[in-house]
């Protein structure tokens, strides 16, 4: 891996740890050229996962869409100007929730999920961590399945 600062140097792993729950591997790296230190996270990819839409069509799992919908719920929904209100920590919260959801999908060993199953998973995760975001998310409405754009 190239150094993100000088873009040249080879890097050396100076520390490795499994994150809480074993969801990913954290590595501390040091650039051999500029000596700057940075971290990388290694997490399993869900690129094998297929989402079965309500229409019966299959589509690839798109984590950025899930992230966007969770972020909106965590941030407090859209304001009058149509822009998502950011509470400040919403991005970090949404990122963490997405990680937990992906862990559950991996643990289930499923390779196909229906949109409904996916929304239930997201809803469960939101309900147990951020009740206000859970209500904003509206996980169990039919409308949600369409707006998620899956
Ligand atoms: Zn460097």
User: Running along the chain, 150 residues long, what does each successive block of 10 average in pLDDT?
Assistant: 89 90 86 94 90 91 90 77 70 89 92 91 89 79 58
Are 38 and 25 spatial neighbours (Cβ–Cβ below 8 Å)? no
**pLDDT on residue 139:** 62
Indicate whether this model's pTM tops 0.85: no
**pLDDT on residue 35:** 94
Determine the distance separating the centroid of ligand 1 and the alpha carbon of 14, expressed in angstroms.
14
Q: Which residues of 24-58 are buried (b: 16+ CB within 10 A; e: fewer)?
A: beebebbbeeeeeeeeeeeeeebeebebbbeeeee
Determine the distance separating the centroid of ligand 1 and the alpha carbon of 11, expressed in angstroms.
8
Determine the distance separating the centroid of ligand 1 and the alpha carbon of 40, expressed in angstroms.
14
**pLDDT on residue 85:** 63
């Amino acid at each position: 891996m190239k150094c993100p600062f000088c873009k040249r140097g080879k890097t050396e792993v100076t520390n490795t740890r499994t994150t809480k729950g074993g969801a990913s591997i954290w590595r501390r790296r040091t650039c051999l050229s500029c000596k700057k230190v940075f971290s990388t996270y290694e997490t399993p990819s869900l690129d094998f996962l297929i989402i079965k839409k309500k229409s019966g069509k299959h589509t690839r799992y798109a984590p950025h869409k899930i992230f966007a919908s969770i972020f909106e719920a965590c941030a407090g929904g859209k304001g009058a100007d149509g822009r998502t209100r950011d509470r400040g920590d919403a991005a970090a919260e949404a990122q963490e929730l997405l990680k937990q959801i992906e862990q559950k999908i991996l643990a289930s060993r499923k390779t196909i999920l229906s949109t409904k199953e996916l929304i239930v998973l997201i809803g469960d995760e939101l309900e147990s961590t951020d009740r206000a975001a859970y209500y904003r998310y509206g996980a169990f409405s039919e409308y949600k399945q369409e707006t998620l754009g899956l």
